[in-house]
Amino acid sequence: MKGAGDGTARVTRFAPSPTGPLHIGHAFSALVAWERAQAGCFLLRIEDIDRTRCRPEFETAIFKDLRWLGLAWPEPVMRQSERMGAYAAALDQLAGLGVLYPCGCRRADIRAALSAPQEGAAVIGPDGLVYPGTCRGRSMESVGPQDALRLDMGRALALAGMAEFMETGADFTGVHRLDPDWMQAQVGDVVLARRNLGTSYHLSVVVDDAAQGITEVVRGADLFAATFIHVLLQRLLDLPGPRYHHHRLIRDDTGKRLAKRDDARAIALYRAEGASPADIRALVTLPSGS
Ligand code: GLU
């Protein structure tokens, strides 16, 4: 196992959601995170906030496949479903800054508001449809059990000031600065606590990367745009900003990105057909043996 690090060593992580089997794209992501940890520490985190989609048997299978690939990690593994208190504390902190508001809009309400003639074409950003701001005037005192909590992007940007992050992935190498105009137009007031869930992907990932002391976030290029949201939240919550490494996505023979649900690419199937961990590395063009 890679050592616990001496405070200066790299700490990377692999953060799967146990909603299906580990497939070749996940294996690639885990292997890149493992190799980029070098002599530092590779951590695992189970992202299971959406209890309706996560299954314990998938979690067990993911552990098994990762071990088979030759990876190891310190126990106990962080599990997001056990971290609701930390997410609630972060939401309190943001509410204290005056950057949250409750929102009772359903997807259909948002679509209807966006289709009003004065709105122009709806924008789909890294967090889906850009919210038209219908509930932005609501105070946190009016929050009801069926409400989500949204970030007031305008206020958040004004409060955070200049923010940037360092990217080491080949497609986006360099320093990236948050552009307030882009954030307002392309991201908008993102949901930070989903209805009936008490948190969201964006909030949990930021709180947990800090709690685990991650120094380099390794994940797929599809999450690059979401990083701007994460860096903004780090600034607001006064959390350290890790470096980022967004790796290329594994594509099939026709160049199509592999869907998360493409079970034909499950590691367990390759294994059942007699593939070795070295074969998997070769398949994703990682040098074997490292
Ligand atoms: N849980 C996310 C996924 O399985 C990964 C999130 C991240 O690496 O930030 O896609």
Write out pLDDT tens, residues 218-245.
999 999 999 999 999 999 999 999 999 9
How far away, in angstroms, is 46 Cα from ligand 1 center? 9
Residue ranges around ligand 1 (CB below 6 Å) = 15-17, 47, 205, 219, 223
Write the residue with the smallest CA distance to atom 4 of ligand 1.
16
In angstroms, rounded to a whole number, what is the distance separating the alpha carbons of residues 256 and 251?
Answer: 5
Which of 43, 214, 219, 247 has the most ligand 1 atoms within 8 A of CB, as the residue to mutate? 219
pLDDT band at 144 (very low <50, low <70, confident <90, very high): very high
Looking at the structure of the chain, the number of domains it has is 2
pLDDT at 155: 98
Using CA positions, which residue lies closest to atom 3 of ligand 1?
A: 16
3-state secondary structure of 174: strand
Q: What is the pTM of this model?
A: 0.93
Identify the three-state secondary structure at position 192: strand
- Is residue 261 in a domain? yes
Instruction: Determine how many CB atoms are found less than 10 A away from the CB of residue 195.
Output: 16
What pLDDT was estimated at residue 179?
96
* Residue 285 burial (10 A CB sphere; 0-12, 13-18, 19+): exposed
- Does one domain contain both 105 and 177? yes
* pLDDT given at position 290: 43
Residue 204 parent element (H or E): helix 201-211
Domain extent for 233: 83-213+222-239
Mean pLDDT of 37-50: 96
Residues 230 and 266 in one domain: no
Are both 61 and 150 inside the same structural domain? no
Q: What is the number of helices (H) and of strands (E) in the chain?
A: 10, 12
Model confidence pLDDT, tens digit, residues 182-223 = 999 999 999 999 998 999 999 999 999 999 999 999 999 999
Structure tokens at 190: 């993102």
Tell me, yes or no, whether 244 lies in a domain: no
In a domain, 272, yes or no: yes
Confidence of residue 126 (pLDDT cuts 50, 70, 90): confident
CA of 14 to the centre of ligand 1 (A): 8
Q: Are 126 and 226 in contact (CB under 8 A)?
A: yes
Kindly state whether residue 245 falls inside one of the protein's structural domains: no
> What CATH number is attached to the domain comprising 227?
3.40.50.620
Q: What is the pLDDT of residue 242?
A: 98
Best of 17, 22, 43, 81 for a ligand 1 pocket test (most atoms within 8 Å of beta carbon): 17
